Amino acid sequence: MIDLSGKSGVITGGARGIGRAIGLRLAAQGADVCFSYRGNSEAAQATVADIEALGRTAVAVQADVVQPESAKALIDTALDRLGKVDILVNNAGITRDDLIMRMKPEDWNDVIDTNLSGTFWTIKAATRPMMKARAGRIVNITSVSGQAGQMGQANYSSAKAGLIGLTKATARELGSRNITCNAVAPGFVLTDLTGDLPKELLEEARTRTPLGRFTSLEDVSAAVAFLASDEAAFITGQVLAVDGGLVMM
């Protein structure tokens, strides 16, 4: 079993869905967890309680990582409350789906700002303490949409594809300080974020998946825990597809 005892992890968008599952997985394997949430304080406190029930320290920080100062405040809070940042998981994301010809400028900008720029600002904030410690694990949550594109998701697909480039650039920049940066690309996960997708699209995705089911929260959180662990010490700049074979590259 992967052992993260003594580690401290930061997760963006950690109150619900994939981020919550990742927080619980890291805690179950020994890590203390600090996570950001945008506005749902009830969900955030419920996640804190669940992590603490596993015997780990949990810190919830209301922060919108689109703002550089908020991303820095998240990392500073983690350093203050947990003492260090060993693991950073960039999970915060939104969708604003529409066809290109109908997409509003604000829907393009909001998705790029949250999914891509927010990740950049959080990595930037974590870089100095990780470099000082000469160690760190960064995991970015991208998507099959960023690998293969998705109709009606030009903004989301672009942001998630951008995350892959950001992952590789970060891996090259920080590798000399023993900091790895990888990405996890889930297939379709049934969360609040995918709840508005047409049933026909979801069923098509399921039938096109060689393993014949949707990606589970446990599938994603297990992959993140592996990349955050010592077992993945010599893996960097990679995209780990957790999609049941939906996208083969």
> Which of the following is catalytic: 120, 156, 188, 214?
156
DSSP conformational letter for 114: I
Phi-psi category of residue 83: left, alpha or beta, with phi > 0 → left and psi -120 to 50 → alpha: left
Q: Are 132 and 85 in contact (CB under 8 A)?
A: no
For residue 191, CA distances in Å to 84, 93, 187 come to 30, 12, 12
156 is known as an active-site residue: yes
Amino acid identity, position 196: D
Task: Pull the structure tokens for residue 179.
Answer: 């900091």
Q: Are 111 and 96 in contact (CB under 8 A)?
A: yes
Burial tier of 168 (Cβ tally within 10 Å: 0-12, 13-18, 19+): middle
Active site residues: 156
